[in-house]
Amino acid sequence: MELTLWTYEGPPHVGAIRVAASMKGVHLMLHSPQGDTYADLLFTMIEREGRRPPVTYTTFQARDLGGSTAELVIHSIKEAANRFKPQVLMVADSCTAELIQDQPGALALGTELPVPVIPLEMAAYTRKENWGAAETFYQLVRGLLSRQVPPPGSERPARDPDKRPSVNLLGPTKLGFRCRDDVVEIERLLTSMGVDINVVAPLGASPVDCQRLPEADANINLCPEVSDLTCSWLARNFGMPTIYTIPMGWGATRDFILEVAAVLGLDIDPDSVGESRLPWYSRSIDSTYLTGKRVFVFGDGSHAIAAARVARDEMGFEVVGLGTYSREMARQVRTVAKEFGLEALITDNYLEVEQRVQELQPEMVLGTQMERHIAKRLGIPCAVICTPAHVQDYPARYSPQMGFEGANVLFDTWVHPLIMGLEEHLLHMFRDDFEFNDSVGPSHLGSEGEGARATDSNQADEDAGDLTWATDAERELKKIPFFVRGKARRNTERFAVEQGISIIQVDTLYDAKAHFSQ
């Protein structure tokens, strides 16, 4: 058993629902107890979908367990096939159904149905949501294309020189982070490179569309958490190359353009494709204050890696922590963390993340909805970079994370929670002003900052043991702006312990400051 307060990912069958909900002409029959229909509200409430996801749940109850739940499964499968007339019916178990072993996939295959069936195995007790989405997408694509697979060893025919090059955009789903807008942005980018989009999947695709996947020249692995498995399968069986760069940030977008050009044999200058305001905004002197701001990055694997690079190379931040809840991406995140001189935090326990944030006392957190709450509690500015996300992260406006416009969005979104340059200086200088002081937070955020500062996040370290702060030292500490106060407190206490000082005086504070600034 694993004690869990909050979970970053749902169970694997929620991943299956995400794939089904993203597509057209697909229906999922989920063998599951009453209550599992809660998954509907993820789509209708968080993403404001105007339809229920295309799922039929068996919603069995105790009284059904006495009889035959298998009959209920067959009944539900027939109902779903007849009522919704999908092109493909997927059949899966949720966690409880897995235990009663009705094998709904086998039951569906043994039932005469007017639609093809794709059975899914969701491994509810070992896997999680993103794995479930990846597995579902893969099984669906494999099921639809297995008869088209050329014999092993066949050469992939060269592209007809008269035909424009084309790619598939794989991985975007419902409930993904800004997938709706990223697809638009990347389509626009590719179009301006003279590259056609063959199929976008799962988002917006039908099974019939998926059968055209092999017609493209390459696959873009846009959301590897969902599309990695499918891209590898298409590469192995159809000889389709995969484009791996995630075009998030200015530099990565240019790398992406170069990789697409290289894979498709095109000669393209990234400057001719488009431009972003991020480089100038970051170079303009107003942004000087961003330099060296200590940020903590946590999220799914692909967003965390991309965000770390943008934070360091394009914003001029110092990345002091990097981690992911995606165990499937742990290796890649560790590699990147190493490049940054960091040890990656690989965990799906939000308490561990909170503890790390507390230890590092960053000046900003880039994370998920969970980290937003952690940061709020600790009084640290935060921007959300990936799922899990709340309803406010599914905005009405166009707000991609990828491509050149995505880079603009990242700059704005990450700067917004911070106190702006000159304001920060003034707070440093006149911190006793009765109405203009750091306890009210950034002036452009109104009352938003107030709640965050209301709880003093920088309380004495519980491990500080016998240390005491002299009253005037404590008063002096309060003069340090809140966004570095916690760090100053910790450093001073660490310094005092190292020096064998038990009562911290004003001088101890400044000795520590000098010591750590070396």
Partner 1 sequence: MSSVIASSEVVGHAGPGEQERGQRAVFCGLTSIIWLHRRIQDAFFLVVGSRTCAHLIQSAAGVMIFAEPRFATAILQERDLAGMADCNEELERVVAELLGRRSGIKRLFLVGSCPSEVIKLDLETAAAKLQAKHDNRVRISAFSGSGIETTFTQGEDQCLQSTVKDLPVLAEGARNLVVVGTVSDIVEDQFRRIFSDLGVEDVHFYPGRRAQELAPIGPGTQLIAAQPFVGETVRALQARGASLISAPFPLGAEGSRGWFEAIGDAWGIDSDTVARVLELPYQRSKRAVAAQFDKLSGRAVHFLPDSQLEIPMARFLTEECGVAIKEIGTPYHDALMMSGELSRLHPDIKIVEGQDLDPALERVRSNRPDLTICGMGIANALEAEGLRTKWSIELVFSPVQGFDQAGDLAALFAKPLVREAVLEVGSWS
Interacting residues toward partner 1 by CB under 8 A: 1-7, 9-11, 13-14, 33-42, 44-45, 48-52, 56-62, 64-65, 76, 79, 83, 94-96, 99-100, 124-126, 128, 350, 369-370, 373-374, 376-377, 388, 390
**Nearest approach, Cβ of residue 223 and partner 1 (Å):** 20
Nearer to partner 1 among residue 292 and residue 451 (C-beta): 451
H-assigned helices in 146-299: 179-192, 207-210, 224-238, 250-264, 270-273, 278-283
- Tell whether the torsion through CA atoms of 181, 183, 189 and 192 is positive or negative: negative
CA distance 322 to 345: 6
Q: Is 393 a catalytic residue?
A: no
**Nearest approach, Cβ of residue 184 and partner 1 (Å):** 21
Query: Which backbone phi and psi does 362 adopt, to 5 degrees?
Result: -70, 165
CA distance 117 to 6: 34
Nearer to partner 1 among residue 37 and residue 505 (C-beta): 37
**Nearest approach, Cβ of residue 83 and partner 1 (Å):** 6
Q: Which long-range contacts (CB under 8 A, 24 or more apart) does 317-321 make?
A: 317/290, 317/292, 317/293, 317/364, 318/292, 318/293, 318/294, 319/295, 320/294, 320/295, 320/296, 320/360, 320/362, 321/296, 321/297, 321/345, 321/356, 321/357, 321/360, 321/362
CA distance 306 to 182: 14
> First and final CA of the chain: distance in angstroms?
47
**Nearest approach, Cβ of residue 387 and partner 1 (Å):** 11
Amino acid identity of residue 428, one-letter, is H
CA distance 360 to 215: 49
Nearer to partner 1 among residue 51 and residue 147 (C-beta): 51
Catalytic residue among 269, 286, 433, 507: 286
**Nearest approach, Cβ of residue 383 and partner 1 (Å):** 17
Nearer to partner 1 among residue 379 and residue 400 (C-beta): 379
Q: Is 31 within 8 Å of 92 (Cβ atoms)? A: yes
DSSP annotation of 32: -
**Nearest approach, Cβ of residue 97 and partner 1 (Å):** 9
Nearer to partner 1 among residue 76 and residue 242 (C-beta): 76
Nearer to partner 1 among residue 82 and residue 191 (C-beta): 82
Which residues participate in catalysis according to the annotation?
286
